[in-house]
Amino acid sequence: MTSDQGLVRATACAIVDKLNSGEVTPLDLLDVLEQRIAEVDGKVNALPTLCFDRARSQAKALMKKPIGDRGLLAGMPLPIKDLTNVEGVLTTQGSPIYKDNIPARSDLLVERLESNGGLIYAKSNTPEFGAGANTFNEVFGATRNPWDTSRSAAGSSGGAAVALATGMAWLAHGSDMGGSLRNPASFCGIVGMRPSIGRVAHTPVAKIDRNLGVQGPMARNVEDLALLLDAMSGEHPADPLSLPALPTSFRAAARSGARPTRVAYSPDLGITPVDPEFAAITRKAAARFAEAGAIVEEAHPDLREAHECFHVLRAFDFAISKAALLRAKRALLKPEVIWNIEEGLKLTVEQLTRAEAQRVAMTARTLEFFKSYDLLLAPATIVPPFPIEDRYVAECAGKKFDNYVEWLGIVYAITLVCCPALSLPCGFTASGLPVGLQVVAPPRGEAQLLAGAKVLEDILGVRDTTPIDPRPAK
**Three-state secondary structure along 141-155?**
EECECCCCCCEECCC
**pLDDT at residue number 69:** 98
Q: One-letter amino acid identity for 355? A: A
Active site amino acids: 81, 156, 180
pLDDT at 35 over 80: yes
**pLDDT at residue number 60:** 98
Using alpha carbons, list the distances in angstroms from residue 61 to 50, 117, 146, 382, 414.
Answer: 19, 11, 35, 46, 41
Please give the Cα distance from 347 to 85 (Å, whole number). Answer: 30
* 3 state SS of 218: strand
Q: Percent of the chain, pLDDT > 70?
A: 100
> What mean pLDDT do residues 314-340 have?
96
Please give the Cα distance from 94 to 97 (Å, whole number). Answer: 9
pLDDT at 291 over 70: yes
> What mean pLDDT do residues 263-275 have?
98
Residue 404: CB atoms within 10 A of its CB come to: 19
pLDDT at 147 over 50: yes
pLDDT digits (tens, 9 = 90+) for 393-412: 999 999 999 999 999 999 99
**pTM of model > 0.95:** yes
> What mean pLDDT do residues 70-92 have?
98
- Contact between 372 and 340 under an 8 Å Cβ cutoff? The reply is no
Q: Percent of the chain, pLDDT > 90?
A: 98
The DSSP 8-state label assigned to residue 239 in this structure reads: B
**pLDDT at residue number 465:** 96
**pLDDT at residue number 139:** 98
- Residue in 467, 355, 42, 412 with CA at minimum distance from that of residue 212: 412
- Residue in 335, 380, 337, 307 with CA at minimum distance from that of residue 161: 380
**pLDDT at residue number 1:** 43
The DSSP 8-state label assigned to residue 177 in this structure reads: S
Task: Break the chain into its structural domains and give their ranges.
Answer: 5-460
**Beta-carbon contacts of residue 237 (< 8 Å; ≥ 6 apart):** none
* 3 state SS of 37: helix
Q: Please report, for the chain, how many H helices and E strands are present, in that order.
A: 14, 15
pLDDT digits (tens, 9 = 90+) for 156-180: 999 999 999 999 999 999 999 999 9
Mean pLDDT, the chain, rounded, equals 97
Q: Please give the CATH architecture assigned to the domain spanning 5-460.
A: Alpha-Beta Complex (3.90)
